[in-house]
Structure 1
């Protein structure tokens, strides 16, 4: 029996658009705080607002983008978002004060939040339903690859050629996202369905209730992941492994790339529980190994385990959020999931930063492994048990109808 085709032109185009979106994000994420301190002479706390303002504006814009996707149409929202994102990238050349830069970051974050919501929704419609787990896994790989390449390219540009080349590079990459996004075709049947939805504004319509439980699980886990993003390089310096710190997310991405053909198919064939429970445990073990690392082997081994664990969990959770929603609510489901998830990342960076003052990173990562295991309980009650109850209610309803 032939499989429904996954690697279509539209799937590749929307994945590339997502890759360029996140590549721009990571290029600037690692460079703008140092730019703010070195060239705008701001304090480290104010420089940290470069990331905070961007993420907050993205979080706030996503629910609105989710509602607009339903009422205005996928293609229109994607076009507006990508133009705003690319346009904001051009504005980095002009501000000479920290306030001006924060305004640009605010606009850029709005474009980013809208665009990532749009591409996440569109790809869910493009992927065949029978291969959604596999397809979402590959789609999220575009984000992971940007996470590996972006910081390297950004720091290289900043240190070798200066801020002007850095900003030119971010504009080129953002335009790449716009070009690849514009080549994606939206099915007419989907557009027709969208026009039926009321365009009236409602706070209730800003969130998709079915996506909230699994989004909360993802946000809970994201707090630990934010500790990795923010502090793993500092931890590597502490344990005298600065020479291999840059390889952490490279190994993370390689393991993801090698495992993706299997994990995605298993998700489609056996359901999310078969994937989620082992991956939560693997994520916890990876953090435990990281906390006890005293050499390059264990340090990079933990990267592989975390990559296989958390790297598989994130697309699994996003797939659950999309599948639990009605087809016409996928935009809101995507927006709800990503908004709550990013809130976990933002809160995690703040909370972990406070905790890190009280204890060393080895101890922090050690306790993080037990924190992750609590996620098993959270996942069971917010998804597995809830799903079983829903199935049981449906079966009883069918029996009564008969």
Structure 2
């Protein structure tokens, strides 16, 4: 009887889950540290529009590589893409040590960082969904997402201490160490995806003609324009108020953990659309709140609402995408899902950097919340889709 809970967990989450979870903690730790790269850019003399450009080019690199990644991951395997992605991120992180002026070298490093992350995140998500039973898919994806949420809760305070007392070079060094540890945790991952399968000439592009797939992906894009506004500008937005971003991310991570651990089955039981629709709406309200808050308690409340929304939304949309593609196309489907996420972040970074330069960060968040309403509209028209489990 003692072995039953463990065997049940393995059946639900798969043998790869623990190693993938720890690997993702390390990789996302690297990404969290670079949330503060906007402050480094500010020290170099960048304005809001330039910050948006330099921050957003990472997402651009992540997006442009997805068609190749989507095909390669189903044909050559998940693990190769994971290692390739981490290796490119290591090279990029080393490159940050040499970024001392606002010039093209920062664009190259950020682009390389994004390409590496695009390879990695598609691979690791596909490893997780390969093992997940179709009836618990949203639950598994949601719990796996806690690996990222936990780092957003724990590391901002660490990063701020390092920046204040040791400097950005030490921050870059610690970010590099996390990636080296990630390689260790990626090594035991088992390859379970389809290998050596022949595909049509343009398999990734064929997914773009699948209308029922574009609805959840399109909803995620508009939602993630708000994510781009949040991630790329919150540090510089809160700095003049002498408020740490930890307040927001601890609250959002706490809410996300509650949602994913105790309510993660809702999208599997009641349907993806019924869960995604109010989740998108919660994100809109939270971002609007962020533009108007006046004290730390209100920031905590906004963070909690944001974490609740994204805690439901991302697993529901990811599961919806996997439902709509054939098993042998799962890697391409998740490449499209993660590309939509990053494309939204990129668009938000580029566009809202210009908006912030014109009207300020507070008003920028009000505009971003309004644009996110398009995600609610698309989700409203989303059907159940076809399941290919």
Shift of 1:22: 1.8
**In the alignment, what sits opposite 1:16?**
22
Change (3 A) 1:274 1:204: closer
**In the alignment, what sits opposite 1:172?**
177
CA distance in structure 1 between the partners assigned to 2:98 and 2:295 by the alignment: 45
Match of 2:92 among 81, 88, 93: 88
**In the alignment, what sits opposite 1:228?**
230
Match of 1:99 among 95, 98, 104: 104
Shift of 1:65: 0.9
Task: Say whether the 8 Å CA contact 1:283–1:305 is kept in structure 2.
Answer: yes
CA distance in structure 1 between the partners assigned to 2:195 and 2:273 by the alignment: 32
Shift of 1:73: 1.6
TM-score (norm 1): 0.82
Change (3 A) 1:379 1:131: same
1:127 counterpart = 2:132:
yes
CA distance in structure 2 between the partners assigned to 1:112 and 1:54 by the alignment: 9
**In the alignment, what sits opposite 1:334?**
334
The number of residues matched between the two structures is 378
**In the alignment, what sits opposite 1:72?**
76
TM-score (norm 2): 0.85
**Where in structure 1 are there 5+ consecutive unaligned residues?**
392-402
**Where in structure 2 are there 5+ consecutive unaligned residues?**
none
Match of 2:12 among 3, 6, 9: 6
Shift of 1:343: 1.3
- The structure with the largest helix share of the pair is 1
CA distance in structure 2 between the partners assigned to 1:355 and 1:103 by the alignment: 24
CA distance in structure 1 between the partners assigned to 2:151 and 2:335 by the alignment: 21
- Give CA-to-partner distance per residue, 1:115-150, whole Å, 9 cap, x none: 111111111112222211111001122222233344
Change (3 A) 1:73 1:46: same
Task: Say whether the 8 Å CA contact 1:207–1:333 is kept in structure 2.
Answer: no
Change (3 A) 1:272 1:107: same
Larger of the two Rg values belongs to structure: 1
Q: Which of structures 1 and 2 has the larger relative contact order (alpha carbons within 8 angstroms, sep 6+)?
A: 2
1:196 counterpart = 2:197:
yes
Question: What's the Cα RMSD here?
Answer: 3.1
Change (3 A) 1:296 1:54: closer
CA distance in structure 2 between the partners assigned to 1:103 and 1:357 by the alignment: 24
Question: In structure 1, the residue corresponding to 2:190 is in which secondary structure?
Answer: coil
CA distance in structure 2 between the partners assigned to 1:179 and 1:347 by the alignment: 34
1:3-402 matched pairs, under 5 angstroms = 5-31=11-37, 33-36=38-41, 38=43, 41=44, 43-44=46-47, 48-94=52-98, 98-187=103-192, 190=193, 193-198=194-199, 204=205, 209=210, 211-233=213-235, 236=238, 242-243=242-243, 245-359=245-359, 361-366=361-366, 368-381=368-381, 383-384=382-383, 387=384
Question: In structure 1, the residue corresponding to 2:189 is in which secondary structure?
Answer: coil
CA distance in structure 2 between the partners assigned to 1:42 and 1:127 by the alignment: 47
Shift of 1:79: 2.5
Change (3 A) 1:363 1:12: same
CA distance in structure 1 between the partners assigned to 2:354 and 2:316 by the alignment: 30
Shift of 1:96: 6.0
